[in-house]
Structures are given as C-alpha cells and as structure tokens.
C-alpha cells in the first residue's frame, strides 16, 4: 500500500477510530509512556491489531523535523479522496453543505479549516488537484484528525465541480471583500450551500466568482488588510451554526 506518516496525538487517535485507514506501524517516544492520550492510542491499536513500538525521541524527530509530533508518529495509508458524484449520491436528500478552497496554499490554514468544517457539520471539502495544498501530514496534524471525518473531494476543475453542485440544487456563496452583503445577512439554514473561500493573497478567481449566487463579506472595524483565511471560514460557518441553533430553539418553543 501507499504509505504516509501522520503525527500528533489527536491526528493518530482519529485516524485509528475512523476505521478507514490501514496502519503499518505506530512509533511512540520512550518519553511519552505516561500520557493519557498515548494510553488511548495503545488501547485502540491493541483492539485493532495495529503494531506499535517504543522508540527514542530522536527517531521521531528524524521523521518529523519540525518537532510537532507530540511523541507519536503513525505510518498509515493516505486519506482517501472522494469523487464529487459519489458524494452527491451519498447525501441525496440530506443536509450536506460543502466548503470549496480555491487554491489555499498554507497547510496550517487547510488543516484548521477542515477542523472548523467538521465542528460545523459541513460534509465535504473540495480542493483543486493542481493548485493549493493537498492533504499532507501537516494538514492532518493541524486538523487534529478531523480530516478523517469529512469527505475530501479533489477535482481537476473547480468550475465544473461548482456547475455540478448547482445542477444538484446547491446554492453557491463566495466570500469576497468587495461584496455588498454582510455574511450575517444571508439565511444559511434552508439550503445546501457551497461556500467558496479564496487563496491567501489572490482571493477567489474571477471564473468562480461569476458562478456565485451570493457574495458575502465579513465587516471589519478597522481598515487593516484582511483576516486569515481559516479564521474567515470559521466566522462564516459559525454564523450558519448560530442561525441553525437559534432556529431550532424557536421551533422547540413553538412546539
């Protein structure tokens, strides 16, 4: 099988728990024996018949030179990408909103976005095959393992992907700081939406902006350049979550 490494305690726990990854081996630092989450990793590994071994910390540092491994590295199969057609088929008739990343380049940002998406109940992330980052070890670490809990869709053409979503009754929302509407002026709760977020510097490409049904901006209180893309994504997604929570509360009240 293809082998990748994932590192960090949450990333390894979530990969073990999701039941969709094949494991070659888990390496644990000798210094990390007493840790609660390492205990959890050992138990999960035993249950699933995955080999783990204790090694010197230096061996982990050699595999992950930035030193962010938190004492554990797993050799596993890579994240499986999903086809957009399969995704649409799987969630037919259900709430299944998605986030589209138009060339986001920083692995930390992509990881944090995936984490927010999972917390906000978003079902898929769409990324272009040839621009921006794909799912790598840093993305998995920064997502705290959330990358195992969402469909990740890789596509050669974001334009065709968006067209296909529109054909399947998705509403396309673009985050654009020139937009007329504030992000909180849209009701996100009655639709499947596809939220497009642009690259750190370039923003959203014109060809995609043209396809948007709504454009929204996040209002700012100073004229400082702009928000980090993962923070901007979180702000819009949790506006949606807040709207949904308020709506459900009203429904409960009205019986």
Q: Which residues bind a second copy (CB under 8 A)?
A: 10, 108, 112, 115-116, 118-121, 142, 144, 146, 149, 182-184, 218-222, 224-228, 230-232, 234-235, 238-239, 241-242, 244-246
Can you list the alpha helix ranges (DSSP code H) found in the chain?
A: 9-18, 36-48, 57-63, 84-90, 107-119, 137-142, 158-167, 206-209, 229-253
CB nearer a second copy, residue 84 or residue 146: 146
CB of 174 to a second copy, least distance (A): 18
CB nearer a second copy, residue 8 or residue 128: 8
CB nearer a second copy, residue 32 or residue 155: 32
CB of 235 to a second copy, least distance (A): 4
CB nearer a second copy, residue 51 or residue 220: 220
Residue with tokens 């009240």: 253
CB of 205 to a second copy, least distance (A): 19
Task: Count how many Cα atoms sit within 13 Å of the Cα of residue 211 in the half-sphere of its side chain.
Answer: 22
CB of 152 to a second copy, least distance (A): 15
Tell me how far apart the alpha carbons of residues 168 and 104 are, in angstroms, rounded to a whole number: 25
Tell me how far apart the alpha carbons of residues 209 and 215 are, in angstroms, rounded to a whole number: 8
Tell me how far apart the alpha carbons of residues 3 and 73 are, in angstroms, rounded to a whole number: 12
CB of 85 to a second copy, least distance (A): 24
**Helix axes of 107-119 and 229-253: crossing angle, nearest 10 degrees:** 0
Judge contact between 113 and 44, C-beta under 8 A: no
CB nearer a second copy, residue 225 or residue 254: 225
């Amino acid at each position: 099988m293809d082998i990748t490494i994932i590192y960090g305690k949450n990333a390894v726990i979530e990969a073990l728990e999701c039941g969709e990854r094949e494991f070659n081996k888990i390496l644990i630092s000798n210094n990390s024996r007493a840790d609660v989450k390492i205990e959890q990793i050992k138990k999960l590994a035993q249950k699933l018949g995955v080999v783990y071994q204790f090694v010197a910390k230096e061996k982990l540092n050699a595999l992950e030179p930035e030193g962010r491994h938190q004492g554990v590295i797993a050799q596993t199969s890579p994240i499986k990408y999903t086809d957009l057609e399969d995704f649409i088929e799987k969630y037919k008739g259900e709430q299944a909103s998605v986030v589209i990343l138009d060339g986001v380049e920083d692995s930390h940002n992509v990881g944090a976005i995936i984490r927010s998406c999972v917390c906000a109940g978003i079902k898929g992330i769409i990324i272009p095959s040839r621009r921006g980052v794909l799912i790598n070890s840093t993305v998995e670490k920064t997502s705290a393992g959330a990358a195992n809990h969402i469909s990740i869709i890789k596509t050669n053409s974001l334009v065709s992907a968006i067209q296909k979503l529109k054909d399947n009754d998705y509403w396309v929302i673009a985050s654009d700081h020139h937009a007329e509407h504030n992000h909180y002026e849209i009701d996100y709760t009655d639709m499947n939406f596809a939220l497009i977020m642009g690259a750190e510097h370039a923003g959203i490409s014109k060809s995609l902006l043209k396809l948007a049904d709504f454009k929204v901006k996040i209002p700012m209180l100073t004229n400082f350049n702009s928000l980090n893309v993962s923070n901007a994504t979180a702000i819009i997604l949790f506006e949606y979550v807040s709207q949904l929570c308020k709506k459900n509360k009203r429904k409960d009240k009205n019986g």
